[in-house]
Amino acid sequence: MIHLTPWDLVIASSMIILLAITSLLLQLNIARQLTIAAIRNVIQLLLIGYILKLIFNTSNLFLLASIATIMLLVAGYEINARQKYPLKRWVGFKIGTSALFLSSFSMVLLTLMVIVAPTPWYSPQYAIPLLGMLLGNTMNGISLGMDKLNQSVYQQRAIIEQRLMLGQTYQEAIKEIRTESIRTGMIPIINSMAIAGLVSLPGMMTGQILSGTPPVEAVKYQILIFFLIASGTGFGIMLAVWMIAKRMFDERQRLDLAILKIK
């Protein structure tokens, strides 16, 4: 494997700086967010690199569980962080974290215990990358689905209330919005699966090939990851949308948007 030098990363980072300067000139209002994201990216990845080195050397289940918990909590917080009509902080965190835990964690456990089955089953070499990929992609899907649901309900609140007055249950009044929200959250992973191998080579597969893994073996792992991500994302979005939709109505099936943080 060809090792990268610090100078190689400096060249790559110059492109980010150029992009930030261009966005400032065009007044796109993303330069600050882009810069902060890039700095966080470097710090977080360097930190996790040293942590993973320690975990790989020890294979400690308690340490692994601690890292997995931190990853889950951060992902649960980020789900609600940049939505137009976010849920109130504790509600959004609880729903996002619950949906992630019930979907991504179950998929990772299934993979470690049944499909890949390393020895030991909690081998950090497999557990951390699998959990990271599933949490990251499922987080994006759930965030998109929740954002679509919250925006649609807020913007169509008058229509929903009219349907309720005409005798529809809250499930019927919000059914189309809920269906569209789930579809919106699933679009990225469906697109990724549809173009894999024709338009793009997925990240995990590319990384394995660059590290010397035979291409066919890399393809097998990538197919596994795609299916796990799609399943985890789909179930996660369904859970999150169902939980939010249920809390948007009171016990008398009246629309109640008190859980939304209207800016």
CA distances from 199 to 186, 190, 194, 195 (A): 19, 14, 9, 5
Amino acid found at 173: A
Using the predicted structure, report yes or no on whether residue 1 has a pLDDT greater than 70.
no
Owner of token pair 């009246």: 254
pLDDT for 194-239, tens place per residue?
988 777 777 778 787 877 788 888 889 889 999 999 999 999 999 9
pLDDT for 30-53, tens place per residue?
899 899 999 999 998 888 888 888
pLDDT for 157-173, tens place per residue?
999 999 999 989 999 99
Q: What is the pTM assigned to this prediction?
A: 0.81
**DSSP assignments along 124-177, one per residue:** HHHHHHHHHHHHHHHHHHHHHHHHHHHHHHHHTHHHHHHHHHTT--HHHHHHHH
pLDDT for 173-196, tens place per residue?
999 999 999 999 999 999 989 988
